[in-house]
Structure formats: C-alpha cells, structure tokens
A and B are shown apart, each in its own frame.
Chain A
Amino acid sequence: MIKSKFQQEPAFAVEIRNLVKTYRSSFKGNPDDPFYKRIFTRQTFCAVDDVSLSIKSGEVYGLIGPNGSGKSTTMKALLGLISPTSGLCKVFGCDATRVDARSEIGFLPENPYFYKHQTSAETLKFYGRLCGIKGKELKERVDELLDLVSLNHARDRRLGGYSKGMLQRVGLAQALIQKPRLLVLDEPTAGVDPIGSREIRDLIFRLKEEGVTIFLCSHLLEQVQEVCDRVGIIFEGQMVNDGTLEELTSIENQHELVIENADDGLLESINDLVRQHGSSGAKLVRSGTPRSSLEKLFIDTANERKRKEKK
C-alpha cells in the first residue's frame, strides 16, 4: 500500500533531520594507544554532523560551503547513494533510501561523465528507458530536452567528442528525463563558459516557474545569490547558517538608493539632507557610480559579436 502512503502532498519537498554520517578510516589509531590498539582500532571521521534542513515544494535551495565541508555527503544521502549513520532524509515524504524516492529526483553530478560510445540522443534514451519511458513518448521527450539544452545540432555525435559545457548540458537533460519534481544539482555550472552558465541559470528559473524544487550546491556564491530563495551554509560538517537570502544578506540599518540621471546639484542636496539629520546618527556611507558585472559585459560583447556575424 505504498501508493496510498504518499497520496497527500507533504509539506516539504526535502526534509533532512539530524543527519549524521561517519566514515571509518583504515586501521590506524591514536599514536598514544598501545601497539595492538593502533593495529586493530579504526578511527572514525564525521563528514556530516547533525545537519537539518527542509526545502518547500517549488523552492530553490542553495547549499554552500568550502571543499570537504559535507555538501556532497548531504547530497548523496538525499540520493540514497549512502546510508545515514543516524537521522533521516525524506523526499516528498518518502524515505530517501528507498528506490521509489528516485522516481521523483533528477540528479546532475559535478563534472558528469557519460558513456563515450553513445550519442546524446542515445544517452537520453538510455536514461529514459531506465525510468520506464518508451516508444513515442520517449522520442518526444528526448527531442524536447535536446531542444531545451540546445544540443539538437549535435544529437548524433558521440559524447567522446563533446566539450565540458556540452556534457554538462547532457547531464542536465538526463536529470530532467522523467520530469522529476526535485532536481539536485552539484556544481551545475562547473567548467561551463559564462554564456552556458547564463543558459543554465535561465533554465533553473524556468523550472522554478514550473514548480520544480531545486537543491543545488555551488562554489559560485554570486550565482547562488541570484537563483536561490533560501541558502544553507555548511562548515566542517555542521550547518552554521540557514535562511532566506533576505534574512542572511540584508544589513538592517542601511538603505540603498539608486538614482538615474541625477545632476550634481541633486546629489549635493541629498548629501546636505543627510548631514542635517546627522544628530540622529544618520550618515552617508558610500556614493558613486554603480558598476556592471564583468559577466554582464562578457555576455553583452559576445551577443553583439554574434549579431554582427549574422548580419
């Protein structure tokens, strides 16, 4: 009666409660221990220590932290690739260690490698068939996804000749093959050029609009800030901060005004006004011309170039 168990839509798409994962090292012990203990004692290493987080349905959640902080371990526990030492992971109310949970998860690993002897169309068909999709439905789904990740032109080329960015896009397409409700992305833009990175980001927005819940790990903090509704910061296996971007990043006692086409007189008046209120503690912290990002400059230049080439 598994089906009836999940009839009711659970409150959270992802629920991780008090997750602990320890690994045993090789046969090495404390050097102060007697000899036999050194030989026969195994040290334990705690990769994730009492991590709890929850992601609402349709939310984009970013987990950030330095290398070795426990991001991947948390992800693997959610995907059922490892069993928690203690605690639990649930996906739409279903225990993540169960195979059933995987029918609603799409996963893009960091730097995905696929079978080089296959083409992108064959790869997607293979993963689609594993999910029980077949016939016309599978063909249409493969065409749709190759269009979505802009790989239709290379659909019959073997993956051995694909660039890193193209492989990343194949990875994203295979993650979406069974129309999952939860998408888990591990460094989704690793090794992808800024234009490809922007495309992936746009795709994340589009999926979010369609109600897909997204859980991503990334080192690119700017990107996480741009796409995520909520962020968790993990450090040495422990969750040190968790909340909405507004809660985590806003400086409550400061305000920002961006004025377009202001002349010097207006700016001087604003400065005077702030000075007049100086007794209440108000002061101008910073003023100047806002800068565009290097990424935006690169994309604008590339687009301009493409337009010229087309002409």
Chain B
Amino acid sequence: MANPQNRNFQKTSFISFARIRVIAGHTFTQLMRMKVFYFLVAFVILLWGAKQIILPNETGGDSSPEQELRLIKSAGFAAMNMFSMILALSATALLIPKDIEDRTLYTILCKPVPRLDYLLGKLLGILVLIFVSLIAMDLVLSFFLNQKASAIIALQTEQLVGIGMPQEMINEQLAGLKAHGVTMNIHYAAFAIFLKATVIASIALLISTFSSSTLFTQILTLVVIVIGLIQADAREYATVMAQFGESNTLSNISLAIAVFFPDLQFLSVEDGVIDGRNIPMKIMWQISIIASFYFAIYIVLSWLTFRKKEF
C-alpha cells in the first residue's frame, strides 16, 4: 500500500491556488448545507410585499410612483446589506473557532497546507457564497423593480396621452421614472454591498485569529462595523469643530480612528441609487481599490497572527 522507499520531500509552495480552491470549495459546500440560501425565500417575499404597496398621491417632493420604486429599492438594498453583513460576520467568526474546537484544524494543518492557504481558502469560500447570494438577490430585485416600473410607466403613459400631452413632454416626464427603474446602477450598488461584506469578513477573520471565542469575535467585529459606518460623520464633525477652534483633540482622534478602522460609509453607494442618481464608473473603481486595500491589509495581519498560533 504505502511506498515509503526512496522518496524525497516535496517542496510545498508558499501559496497554492489549487489548495485554496479546495478549502474554499469545501467551505462553500459546508455553508450551503447549513441552508443559508433559505434567506432568499424571505427576500422574495419581502420584495413581493414591497411591490404590492401603493402610496397615496402627495403634493410636493417626489411623486408617489417614484416613491413606490424607491421603496422596493430601499427594502432590497437593506435586506442585501443585512444578509451579507450577517453572513460575513457570523460565518467568518464561526468557521475557524469551530475547526479548532472540533480538531478538524489539526487534520488539515497536519497535511502539507500552509496556514495562509487555509485562511484564504476559508475566507474565499465565505465570499463566494456571499457573491452568489448577492447575484441571486440582485436578479430578484431587478425582476420586481422592472415589473413595478413597467406597470407604472405604462399607466403614466396612458394617463399623459389621455390628457393630450405631446410625446416629447411625456418622454421628459417618464425619464425621471426610468432612472428609478432597473439600470446598471442597481448592479453597481449590489457590487458595492459585496465589497463592504468583503471588508467585514476580512475584519472578522483577523479578529478570529487571536480571539478564543466566537461571541467575542462577533461582538468586536460589530464594534468595528459601527465605527466604520459612523467614522466619516465623526471626522466631518471634528473637522468643522476644529475650524471653529473648538477642539483639535477630537479631530486628531477621528483621524487616528480613520487609520485603524475602515470607512464603510465610503463604500456605500446604495443611497445614491435609491435616489435615482447615476453612479460614475470612476467611483466604482475608487471603492474597489479602497476595499481591496483594506482586504489586503487585514489578510496580511491575519496571516501574521495565525502563522505562529499554537493549537
């Protein structure tokens, strides 16, 4: 069976994409068998419900049809944010401590698997799952939004034609509505949510490499998320206060926070998309680069902590 004679050591490469793929594939399957995709059913029901809502006409501000489209987008993006954040936070915080507790980590690290491969494989498995889920949710959102927008546009066209409005003016009126329908911006926003989840998952990974409990990892990651979501406002407030000569200390603290914690608000483009604004490609490139930077930093820190960790 075994052939122990005349064999030499095989050199194990520092990083192997084949091994990372094996661990990522396994993590993806593991999470899928935990039935996380059941969330999609709840998502479909939520959007179907949002689609049924008909708001009464109001004077001033946006017209009700536009608000109805905003409602679907708001509900969709909120659910996408929530799902990806919960999954990035809980799955990442759970998987490594569980492997240690169940001693499955022993059997993996006793194979020729560098610890960086293990970390990247686990994280990649979670990110693939989030990515697939967000694509599915993006499709569901686009479907319901398109249905609602088409119905509204058809109704509006009929009404405007009925009062004898010229076609040019009708087109002008409908342009605003179309901006609230399915555009590339919807997909950009979904991608931005994925980038945010990537940063959150890498933070949770870093914390789980030195934390001894899942709960501690989850709480600490949550604290970092909250800081990440409000730090831009805090920084702006401190800068304004400093301009009025109120306090430089506050400004310095907010700048120090900006060095160590990610600015998650910067990665959010959903609010603009809900308002029907166009997201320039330049912004998408910027947030992709920033998210990749955060991801790389947290991965390197995770590896530095994990590579000498004793089990």
Which chain A residues have a beta carbon within 8 Å of chain B's beta carbons?
Answer: 2-3, 6-7, 9, 57-58, 76, 79-83, 92, 94, 99-107, 109, 111-115, 117-118, 126-127, 129-132, 144, 148, 171, 174-176, 178-181, 184, 206-207, 210-213
> Chain B, 199-229, contact with A by CB distance < 8 Å: what is the 0/1 string?
0000000000000000000000000000000
User: Could you tell me the distance in whole angstroms from the C-beta of A46 to the nearest C-beta in chain B?
Assistant: 15
Other than A107-B106, A175-B107, give 12 A-B pairs with Cβ distance below 8 A. Answer: A9-B6, A82-B311, A99-B114, A100-B9, A101-B9, A127-B108, A132-B19, A176-B1, A179-B1, A179-B3, A206-B1, A212-B4
A175 to B2, CA, bound (A): 12
Q: Are B2 and A103 in contact (CB under 8 A)?
A: no
A57 to B310, CA, bound (A): 28
* B residues 1-32 in Cβ contact with A at 8 Å: 1-12, 18-19, 22-23, 26, 29-30
User: Could you tell me the distance in whole angstroms from the C-beta of A162 to the nearest C-beta in chain B?
Assistant: 14
User: Could you tell me the distance in whole angstroms from the C-beta of A305 to the nearest C-beta in chain B?
Assistant: 30
Q: Is B111 an interface residue (CB 8 A)?
A: yes
Report B-chain residues with C-beta under 8 Å of the C-beta of A103.
9-10, 12, 112
A102 to B29, CA, bound (A): 26
Chain B interface size, as a band, is 35 or more
User: Could you tell me the distance in whole angstroms from the C-beta of B31 to the nearest C-beta in chain A?
Assistant: 10
Q: Is B33 an interface residue (CB 8 A)?
A: yes
Q: Are A126 and B26 in contact (CB under 8 A)?
A: yes
A115 to B102, CA, bound (A): 9
10 shortest A-B CB distances, which residue pairs? A107-B110, A113-B102, A181-B4, A117-B33, A82-B310, A103-B112, A129-B22, A99-B12, A179-B2, A211-B4
Q: Can you spell out 11 A-B residue pairs with CB atoms less than 8 angstroms apart?
A: A6-B9, A81-B311, A100-B9, A102-B110, A127-B111, A178-B111, A179-B2, A179-B3, A179-B4, A180-B2, A210-B2
Q: Is B282 an interface residue (CB 8 A)?
A: no
Nearest residue, chain A, Cβ from B29: A117
Nearest residue, chain B, Cβ from A6: B9
Q: Is B109 an interface residue (CB 8 A)?
A: yes
Report A-chain residues with C-beta under 8 Å of the C-beta of B106.
79, 81, 107, 109
A157 to B273, CA, bound (A): 48
Report A-chain residues with C-beta under 8 Å of the C-beta of B10.
100, 103, 132
Q: Is B104 an interface residue (CB 8 A)?
A: yes
Nearest residue, chain B, Cβ from A8: B8
Report B-chain residues with C-beta under 8 Å of the C-beta of A115.
26, 30, 104
Q: Are A207 and B1 in contact (CB under 8 A)?
A: yes
Q: Are A127 and B107 in contact (CB under 8 A)?
A: yes
Q: Is B113 an interface residue (CB 8 A)?
A: yes
User: Could you tell me the distance in whole angstroms from the C-beta of A106 to the nearest C-beta in chain B?
Assistant: 8
A79 to B111, CA, bound (A): 9
Q: Are B310 and A107 in contact (CB under 8 A)?
A: no
Which chain B residues have a beta carbon within 8 Å of chain A's beta carbons?
Answer: 1-12, 18-19, 22-23, 26, 29-30, 33-34, 102-104, 106-114, 308, 310-311
Q: Are B2 and A99 in contact (CB under 8 A)?
A: no
User: Could you tell me the distance in whole angstroms from the C-beta of B16 to the nearest C-beta in chain A?
Assistant: 8
A104 to B2, CA, bound (A): 11
Report A-chain residues with C-beta under 8 Å of the C-beta of B23.
130
Q: Are A2 and B9 in contact (CB under 8 A)?
A: yes
Q: Are A107 and B4 in contact (CB under 8 A)?
A: no
Report B-chain residues with C-beta under 8 Å of the C-beta of A127.
107-108, 111
Report A-chain residues with C-beta under 8 Å of the C-beta of B107.
107, 109, 112, 114, 127, 171, 174-175
Report B-chain residues with C-beta under 8 Å of the C-beta of A130.
19, 22-23, 108, 111-113
Report B-chain residues with C-beta under 8 Å of the C-beta of A184.
110
Q: Are B1 and A210 in contact (CB under 8 A)?
A: yes
Most central of A81, A94, A99 by chain B CB within 10 Å: A99
Q: Are B310 and A2 in contact (CB under 8 A)?
A: no
User: Could you tell me the distance in whole angstroms from the C-beta of B6 to the nearest C-beta in chain A?
Assistant: 8
Known contacts A117-B29, A130-B19, A210-B2: A102-B11 contact under CB 8 Å: no
Q: Are A131 and B111 in contact (CB under 8 A)?
A: yes
Q: Are B310 and A117 in contact (CB under 8 A)?
A: no
Report A-chain residues with C-beta under 8 Å of the C-beta of B310.
76, 81-83
User: Could you tell me the distance in whole angstroms from the C-beta of B87 to the nearest C-beta in chain A?
Assistant: 17
Among A100, A107, A126, contact of B12 (Cβ-Cβ < 8 Å): A100
User: Could you tell me the distance in whole angstroms from the C-beta of A201 to the nearest C-beta in chain B?
Assistant: 16
A9 to B10, CA, bound (A): 14
A198 to B28, CA, bound (A): 38
A6 to B33, CA, bound (A): 43
User: Could you tell me the distance in whole angstroms from the C-beta of B210 to the nearest C-beta in chain A?
Assistant: 15
A14 to B107, CA, bound (A): 19
Known contacts A148-B1, A179-B1: A114-B108 contact under CB 8 Å: no
Report B-chain residues with C-beta under 8 Å of the C-beta of A76.
310-311
Q: Are A102 and B111 in contact (CB under 8 A)?
A: yes
User: Could you tell me the distance in whole angstroms from the C-beta of A23 to the nearest C-beta in chain B?
Assistant: 9
User: Could you tell me the distance in whole angstroms from the C-beta of A83 to the nearest C-beta in chain B?
Assistant: 7
A103 to B9, CA, bound (A): 7
Report B-chain residues with C-beta under 8 Å of the C-beta of A113.
102-104
User: Could you tell me the distance in whole angstroms from the C-beta of B112 to the nearest C-beta in chain A?
Assistant: 4
Report B-chain residues with C-beta under 8 Å of the C-beta of A176.
1-2
User: Could you tell me the distance in whole angstroms from the C-beta of B104 to the nearest C-beta in chain A?
Assistant: 6
Q: Are A109 and B103 in contact (CB under 8 A)?
A: yes
A127 to B23, CA, bound (A): 10
